[in-house]
């Protein structure tokens, strides 16, 4: 298998598909775009491509934003309400038969509700992505950078949110902050306080469940089943999408980890992993220039690691030009053009294709039916193909969500069942700083006791000394009294003797 069948193309403008439209596996790591208005068939196209890659032995990662992509774990059914329509479409595009089949699936969920928990550590996320997640200013991001640097220099592991929160509290102490300001640069108390407040907001959005251990091992997402088919990793994002920054930052982190950890492989015969980024516009909304540069770098270079990235969004204009330029395989579903801005977007989308003389691309984009798309894929030499008006093939797996029971069964039999369910809380910055503070408190208490004891002893010595001095003063008085008594006695004796002697004289 060297290609993935996408659908039947109308090569000559006759209105009937007469050419098979496929995506070559050897150029599938050159990235791609799936675009179109709501309800035009983007999810079915994504599901077809994901299952096609799986059948070719390529692991896939995709986010299930609406909940209906979970049906990929179950085969389609002849009882489905669209079965007859699918049969008709299959016949129209030249498929000999329509065989329903499922794809081997692992469900993931940041919140651990509808899939295996997926976590990373604060250190692995890094200050740049955390700043994006919290919406920090440059000054506040600088404080966060100092916090990470200080933690690295002092062996403080930052694993979960309580580690980072404890570190920020530690840094808010005036003596610590003054010392850090001298070594790392100025730390404004206002900026530090703002980071702490944003950390609380992020925690309320559920980010505390995402940060911690055991952290995700990328090898668990790059598995193949025993029959050689690639595992389709489905991230349940039905709740996560309500926190757009957490959603986009998480997916960008995952891309960055793949970029940093995977070795260079050049252009393999097929990708090592294909990554579908649904609701891709969320990644670029209000993104600072430093982050946009990082995204562009990852998208440009990650294909040499054997990873293909496919952005799924409503309008190509949602993506920066620098990123669009990297997307060689394009599937454009219908766009609506009710306003001047929308018409401009349609024109821009049409101009991004290699023109087909058989039809007006700009006009066709607004006329495409559900399940139809304008498709241009790269040829064997990497050159863009002429755009084709394509009828997308019907899905082999279920169109619609899996039931709770079906999802639980898949999760129970998962190759990673039980590996990530129980959180681990090993010694990290929180415990180290708590121990230091407890020791400092004990030392302060001991010092206070010693000082109190020394003061008591000093008071005792003063009291004894005062008593001795009082005793010495009493002896002197007694001595003076005795002397006065003796003097009086002598005078009395003299008086008596004088009287006696006077009597004798008479």
Give the tokens for residue 112. Answer: 């651990």
Predicted confidence (pLDDT) at residue 223 exceeds the cutoff of 90? yes
Report domain extents, the chain.
3-119+214-412, 126-207
Strand partners, 388: 375
pTM of the model: 0.85
**11-15, 281-285, 358-362, 472-476, range with the lowest pLDDT:** 472-476
Cα separation of 110 and 112, whole Å? 6
Predicted confidence (pLDDT) at residue 469 exceeds the cutoff of 70? no
Q: What is the pLDDT of residues 316-364, one digit of tens each?
A: 989 999 999 999 999 999 998 888 888 898 999 999 999 998 899 999 9
Q: What is the pLDDT of residue 204?
A: 86
Asked if 255 and 309 count as a contact pair (C-beta separation under 8 A), the reply is yes
Q: What is the pLDDT of residue 506?
A: 39
Cα separation of 65 and 250, whole Å? 14
Cα separation of 145 and 258, whole Å? 23
Q: What is the pLDDT of residue 501?
A: 42
Between 3.40.1580.10, 3.40.190.10, 3.40.50.1820, 3.40.50.300, what CATH number should domain 3-119+214-412 receive?
3.40.50.300
Cα separation of 388 and 369, whole Å? 14
**154-158, 387-391, 488-492, range with the lowest pLDDT:** 488-492
Q: What is the pLDDT of residues 472-503, one digit of tens each?
A: 555 555 555 556 556 655 555 454 444 444 44
Q: What is the pLDDT of residues 89-127, one digit of tens each?
A: 999 998 988 999 999 999 999 999 999 999 999 999 999
């Amino acid at each position: 298998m060297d290609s993935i069948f996408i659908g039947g193309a109308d090569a000559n403008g006759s209105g009937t598909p007469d050419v098979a439209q496929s995506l070559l596996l050897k150029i599938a790591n050159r990235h791609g775009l799936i675009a179109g208005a709501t309800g035009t068939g983007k999810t079915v196209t994504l599901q077809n491509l994901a299952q096609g890659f799986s059948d070719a032995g390529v692991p896939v990662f995709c986010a299930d934003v609406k909940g209906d992509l979970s049906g990929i774990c179950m085969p389609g059914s002849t009882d489905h309400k669209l079965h007859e329509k699918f049969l008709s479409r299959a016949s129209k595009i030249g498929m000999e038969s329509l065989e329903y089949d499922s794809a081997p699936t692992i469900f993931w969920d940041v919140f651990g509700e509808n899939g295996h928990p997926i976590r990373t550590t604060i250190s692995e996320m890094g200050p740049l992505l955390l700043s994006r997640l919290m919406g920090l200013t440059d000054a506040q991001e600088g404080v966060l950078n100092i916090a990470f640097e200080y933690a690295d220099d002092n062996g403080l592991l930052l694993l979960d949110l309580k580690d980072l929160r404890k570190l920020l509290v530690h840094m808010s102490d005036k003596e610590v902050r003054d010392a850090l300001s001298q070594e790392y640069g100025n730390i404004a108390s206002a900026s530090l306080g703002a980071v702490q407040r944003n950390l609380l907001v992020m925690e309320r959005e559920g980010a505390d469940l995402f940060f911690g251990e055991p952290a995700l091992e990328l090898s668990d997402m790059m598995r193949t089943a025993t029959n050689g088919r690639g595992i389709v990793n489905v991230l349940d994002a039905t709740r996560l999408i309500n926190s757009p920054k957490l959603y986009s930052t998480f997916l960008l982190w995952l891309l960055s980890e793949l970029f940093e950890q995977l070795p260079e492989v050049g252009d393999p015969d097929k990708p090592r992993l294909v990554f579908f980024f649904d609701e891709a516009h969320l990644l670029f909304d209000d993104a600072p220039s430093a982050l946009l540069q990082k995204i562009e770098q990852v998208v440009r270079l990650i294909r040499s690691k054997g990873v293909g990235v496919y952005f799924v969004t409503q309008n190509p204009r949602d993506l920066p030009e620098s990123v669009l330029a990297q997307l060689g395989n394009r599937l454009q579903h219908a766009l609506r053009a009710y306003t001047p801005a929308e018409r401009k977007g349609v024109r821009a989308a049409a101009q991004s294709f290699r023109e087909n003389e058989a039809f007006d691309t700009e006009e066709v984009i607004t006329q495409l039916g559900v399940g139809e798309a304008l498709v241009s894929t790269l040829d064997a030499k990497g050159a863009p193909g002429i755009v084709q008006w394509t009828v997308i093939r019907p899905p082999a797996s279920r169109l619609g969500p899996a039931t709770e029971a079906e999802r639980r069964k898949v999760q129970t039999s998962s190759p990673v069942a039980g590996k990530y369910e129980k959180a681990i809380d090993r010694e990290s910055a929180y415990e180290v700083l708590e121990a230091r503070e407890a020791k400092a408190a004990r030392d302060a208490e001991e010092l206070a006791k010693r000082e109190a004891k020394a003061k008591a002893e000093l008071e005792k010595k003063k009291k004894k000394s005062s008593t001795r001095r009082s005793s010495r003063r009493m002896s002197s008085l007694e001595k003076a009294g005795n002397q006065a008594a003796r003097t009086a006695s002598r005078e009395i004796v003299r008086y008596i003797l004088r009287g006696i002697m006077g009597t004798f004289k008479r």
